[in-house]
Amino acid sequence: MSSTNGKNDKVDTTLLALDRTWLAYERTLMAWVRTSTSMITFGFTIYKFFQFEAGRGAPATRGFFTPRDFALVMVGIGLVALLLAAVAHWKQTRSIAAQFPGRRSEAAIVALLVTVFGMLVFLSALFRQ
């Protein structure tokens, strides 16, 4: 769909380029959300596995770095990675968002939800013995 006015073609091309850039930022944040969710889930699974084993009478693992510590580190890394990715996403999309009034970042909403979930997992593992 080409118009006869060269100015309209330029505007359409610019808007499409901005839209592609916006979507690329959204995809990048969603990739970080997937990675962070995997780390949080893996850490929580390790924590629950060893908690289940301890309940079955398995010998407790003692040492400098326990499975609980490992779980907390994995969940913490997932949360920090998600936080850093969300800050980078906000910085990158700030200028584009001004040109798309009313547009919301769905990836940022998902990142917020995963962060809340991750914090609940982290606090659960931290305060339960």
Q: For residue range 78-127, what is the model confidence (pLDDT) as tens digits?
A: 999 999 999 999 999 988 888 877 788 999 999 999 999 999 989 988 88
**CA 28 – CA 70 distance, rounded (Å):** 27
**Residue 86 placed within a domain:** yes
Domain that residue 82 falls in: 6-127
Q: What pLDDT, on a 0 to 100 scale, did the predictor assign at position 11?
A: 67
Task: For residue 40, tell me if it sits in a domain.
Answer: yes
> Does 85 map to a domain?
yes
Whether residue 121 lies inside any domain: the answer is yes
Phi and psi for 63 in degrees, rounded to 5? 155, -170
Structural domain count, the chain: 1
Q: Report if residue 1 sits inside a domain.
A: no
Return the HEC string of 30-86: HHHHHHHHHHHHHHHHHHHHHHHHHHCCCCCCCCCCCHHHHHHHHHHHHHHHHHHHH
Asked, for residue 34, whether it belongs to a domain, the answer is yes
How far is Cα of residue 99 from the mean position of the Cα atoms in its chain? 25
Q: How confident is the model at residue 129 (pLDDT cuts 50, 70, 90)?
A: low
Tens digits of residue pLDDT in 71-88: 899 999 999 999 999 999
Q: Examine residue 89 and state whether it is found in any structural domain, yes or no.
A: yes
* pTM exceeds cut of 0.75: yes
Task: Please report whether residue 116 resides in a domain.
Answer: yes
